[in-house]
Structure 1
């Protein structure tokens, strides 16, 4: 019999307990989470909700949207996943991560309400965020989908606006083998009569068909809104309104302009519910911060890229930097990620690689990762763990060299924790 923590128990006890209360780490479906949410009085949501799905760019889009609403004077809840260093990163109110004590109080309330209903780790966390946001009487909550959309726990909330950042091939075991299948799953966050945004080029046909079938007015990048860059890195956005000379997003890479353009489309679509002036947008863009997204710490670049699309963005960022130094790669990946494809993207840009192991059951050990990477033309040393891999890379790097750490949130966290 698993001991149940109390509201006064340490956060670590609650998280360990949640990992044991459901037989599967992932169990898609809304029935369990919705039933508990109804018992807690969380549905229907009493606050304006922007839900964000997509293969990449969700975290930066959620962070920017929350920052814009906060700059506009609204009380804002932000829910993201996964976390990098602290579980508390997942839930923030007005830009401040909630405390251990507050999270444990929410978990205790959920434990009482769920009774016989098993919940996964992610479902517990989603309900905790919604419970705390309900308690805080927010003006707006910005919610990041964890996996897919249609059957993700976040989707128990009816979004007032749904933003899909892009569609790539990731989580194919759960979401389907192609962009059409994945697009349909992510389009599941849309609601009839409520605005929806697709922020990238080439929307999958099934995403378009689903929006049309349920009557969700869908704004598309390039058709209904667009952006352009200026020589000084400022940018312009055009949609139902126009903004010129906006400050660049604080995060690196041209893709961040595209992500920001989608956020502005969503903010514009919600103007009737949450009016936002241009000053709030201008204030939020250069102020946004998100750890592990092409983040420099000394000679080290931290990036959580773990699929082909994010690796290509990372490669573009690397190519865009001038400098004579070499790049040494510290790589750790999960077995169910497209290891060979990611390595093929990065191989031409690095002098050498050090492969570190990640914990089982999903994590690859260093030797297995080395073997898979070699088939894609990326060669290097295999060591036991990421900390050791980083030490080896530091010993190889010259004074003008840089070390790139990527492949997984777990990989970046192993290096970031002692650096921060």
Structure 2
């Protein structure tokens, strides 16, 4: 039973404790959202789904829109350090009292309706957005699309960044099933911008059923990278010599495509001045160069493959050490395989969550000859730092949890 005097941390513990298992039905949360009167937003809404790149796509959209003078609300997940990272209003985090008030609002109207942790905080986010006069909302899908809590909101533009294999216990074990789930965010007579080039037939089928309008990468819009710049092409505009971004160009491009299809006006000068400044915490973030210390939330095979390519772009003179923690429901072999040829030594450790891969699971999968399995990320990082010379690199990756634990260490490098 909750107490009206709960602090934010107490509220979060209460929600985690009362978190129900995911059921495949949004009817109850939708009825509660109607009761809370949070579905009739006057704001223009972007909903962003995909296996990888959702967070960076949202960050690019947010920055461009803010710099153009729009009032913008962003809902994203998960957080890395503090819960308040999940919601931004006009680029700023809210204070804890705002969350507590919204949580109390949801709880007072719930009347026995069971909600997951994510469903509860999604309703709270919608309450907070309603308290401000916002022009635009950007909603990042938490898991899948069709049954995700964000899908109770009817978006004006749907975005799917890519289709990879992840969350197979909920979304299916093949790309066709996963694409079908993610396509659940499509809306009738609305545009859906697709970054995936190899689109499964199931996505076309859902688009036809829902009568959504697909705008596809390399068909309706496209981008190309040159040595020191990149170009973006759309039926109404061609942008040449754009500055290289700090986030994946594929995600910057899909954000631009979504903006142009939305009809929202942004001056080209603002685009050129803004896109190179967007960076997201924990996404190939270089926090030191002697030695290189790089953190990345890569937690599935596609993301690990991208991380491997990014490492190739850096001139690392010495050895590469990896500090890795992975959840037990992930494809652990698929995550480490793209980096096996690059990593000289692995320091693996369980994470501070019941979902973690255990020391035994890590020992069973990682190569014996060049791996140490430690007790936690703190110990793993310290071991790597002892060995690393100035010309070497330490890559910290495998999960949002891994990066979060590393950032909480506040270690001086």
CA separation of 1:279 and 1:328: change in aligned 2, threshold 3 A: same
Q: 1:19 aligns to what SS in structure 2?
A: helix
Residue 63 (structure 2) pairs with residue 67 (structure 1):
yes
Task: Name the residue aligned to 1:340.
Answer: 333
**Shift in Å, 1:241:** 1.8
**Shift in Å, 1:263:** 1.0
Residue 277 (structure 2) pairs with residue 279 (structure 1):
no
Of 340, 343, 349 in structure 2, the residue corresponding to residue 356 of structure 1 is 349
TM-score by length of 2: 0.95
Is the 2:328–2:358 contact (alpha carbons within 8 Å) kept by the matching residues of 1? no
CA separation of 1:388 and 1:382: change in aligned 2, threshold 3 A: same
Q: Which runs of 4+ in 1 moved over 4 A?
A: none
Is the 1:183–1:206 contact (alpha carbons within 8 Å) kept by the matching residues of 2? yes
Query: How many Å separate the matches in 1 of 2:195 and 2:59?
Result: 16
Query: How many Å separate the matches in 2 of 1:90 and 1:131?
Result: 14
Task: Name the residue aligned to 2:260.
Answer: 268
Q: 2:229 aligns to what SS in structure 1?
A: coil
**Shift in Å, 1:28:** 4.5
Q: 1:112 aligns to what SS in structure 2?
A: helix
Residue 361 (structure 2) pairs with residue 368 (structure 1):
yes
Alpha-carbon displacement from aligned partner over 1:367-415 (angstroms, at most 9, x marks no partner)? 32122223xx884001111111111111121221111000011111111
Equivalent runs, 1:21-420 vs 2, <5 Å: 21-24=18-21, 26-251=22-247, 256-271=248-263, 274-298=264-288, 299-374=292-367, 379-419=370-410
Unaligned stretches of 5+ in structure 1? Answer: none
How many equivalent residue pairs? 408
Q: 1:208 aligns to what SS in structure 2?
A: helix
Query: How many Å separate the matches in 1 of 2:169 and 2:285?
Result: 30
Task: Name the residue aligned to 2:8.
Answer: 11
Query: How many Å separate the matches in 2 of 1:333 and 1:28?
Result: 26
Is the 1:366–1:385 contact (alpha carbons within 8 Å) kept by the matching residues of 2? no
Alpha-carbon displacement from aligned partner over 1:15-44 (angstroms, at most 9, x marks no partner)? 0011122332x4443122212211110123
Query: How many Å separate the matches in 1 of 2:227 and 2:137?
Result: 35
Q: 2:177 aligns to what SS in structure 1?
A: helix
